[in-house]
Amino acid sequence: MTVYDDCHVGHARVLIVFDLIYRWFLNSGYDVQYVRNITDIDDKIINKSNDKGCKFNELTDKYIDSMHEDSKALNVIPPTFEPKATEAIPSMIKMISILVDKGFAYVGKNGDVFFEIAKFKDYGKLSKKNVDDLDAGSRVKIDDNKKSFGDFVLWKLSKENEPSWESPWGKGRPGWHIECSAMSSDILGESFDIHGGGQDLIFPHHENEIAQSESCHDYKMANYWIHNGFVNVDDEKMSKSLGNFFTLKNVLKKYSGEVIRFFVYKSHYRSPLNYSDQNLNDAKAAVEKIYIALRPYNCIQVDLDWSKASLSKIKDALDDDFNSPQAISIIFELINQLNKVTNNDLANEIYSVLKALGLMAIPQDEYFTKSSKIDHDHIEKLIQQRAQAKFQKDYQKADELRNEIDSLGVILEDTVNGTVWRIK
């Protein structure tokens, strides 16, 4: 996360997708170290802090807190480590020094330090881009300070009134790409298992990370790369310029974090995700169906035997590149079974699978009755009056009370265990 503003729907997808992956590894018995880097110094942060007339770290602290609020609303587990770029400056300077000494980096005419992509023979292996095509296809004015169009900055000399740190090349600050390489190698080592992010990071960010990390350490940076797809809004790419940009806080005013998580799970993480009111309303209806199916049961979390026929298909789906849409489809097959016959064990299994995926975050009773606009005591009193009227066989009075309850936005359900209610 680059923390200069509130999270948007695209960030929500990243948070939820990698939370699913984190959860599934943990549920599969793996020992997981999950690092989520925070970029707390870059051009956007500096520009916005200047506009606001505040220190850059006051701005970033505010939006880090905002991100944590959003993560909690989405029931996202905190990562094992959440380093800030500004805490890893010494490691970045050390990496840049090694790259300069090994001939992969150079000081440009303006004093900035650049990585020379021509020196890294495997440049483009992640994005499948050809180095020669980068120069040939560029319409951008060539920067005379560096040797080639594709060379990227590792260290920027600071301008007046900009945050800066001492370095062998003068006071300045790191480039974006070196930040992530330093933070990840500090915590996970020179080579680790999985590196992830949104598809928009494949080039140039992740390509540049590979080039500088592998040139510095002489090790393969990551064994696997996982990238989630873009978020579209009504089939158009989300962007501020198109006016279809949604902050997560605004979306959470209308839909719960539970609904947003389910909405994200309904598409495979690598596929485009189409944000629309209709799709979120569908997700909301599906979540309600789950809660209604489990409501008659006082569900508890149980240890899951993934070898059982009812659960093995869910495991197979999630083991197959975290196929959440397939897993959700199988879960609904089990819910349909539960709707046909009372089965406490099956209810607990469904509940426990959903909990493992970060769903069922809202207590079952609270899901149906939580609302600041509903007077719970008044509803309970009307239900008691209706029960008394039915007992006295005053069915007209009972119907009138039911209609009154209905007018308050409440649905009654008469079950074998008594009358329960939920908000429309």
| pLDDT tens column, 277-314 | 999 999 999 999 999 999 889 899 999 999 999 899 99
Contacts of 77 (CB under 8 A, 6+ apart): 19, 22, 23, 358
Q: What is the pLDDT of residue 241?
A: 64
- In this predicted model, what pLDDT tens digit does every residue of 244-255 receive, in sequence order? 778 999 999 999
Q: Which fold has domain 288-367?
A: Four Helix Bundle (Hemerythrin (Met), subunit A) (1.20.120)
Mean pLDDT of the chain: 93
Token pair for residue 283? Answer: 């997700």
CA–CA gap between residue 220 and residue 405 (Å, rounded)? 65
Whether residue 240 is annotated as binding a ligand: the answer is: yes
Q: What is the pLDDT of residue 137?
A: 47
Taking 60 as the threshold, does the pLDDT of residue 372 lie above it?
no
Domain extents for the chain?
A: 288-367, 371-423
Taking 80 as the threshold, does the pLDDT of residue 74 lie above it?
yes
Place of tokens 């790419």: 237
- In this predicted model, what pLDDT tens digit does every residue of 212-258 receive, in sequence order? 999 999 999 999 999 999 999 887 877 766 677 789 999 999 999 99
- In this predicted model, what pLDDT tens digit does every residue of 175-213 receive, in sequence order? 999 999 999 999 999 999 999 999 999 999 999 999 999
Please give the DSSP secondary-structure letter assigned to residue 55.
Answer: -
**87, 121, 302, 311 from 306: Cα distances, Å:** 42, 45, 12, 5
Contacts of 47 (CB under 8 A, 6+ apart): none
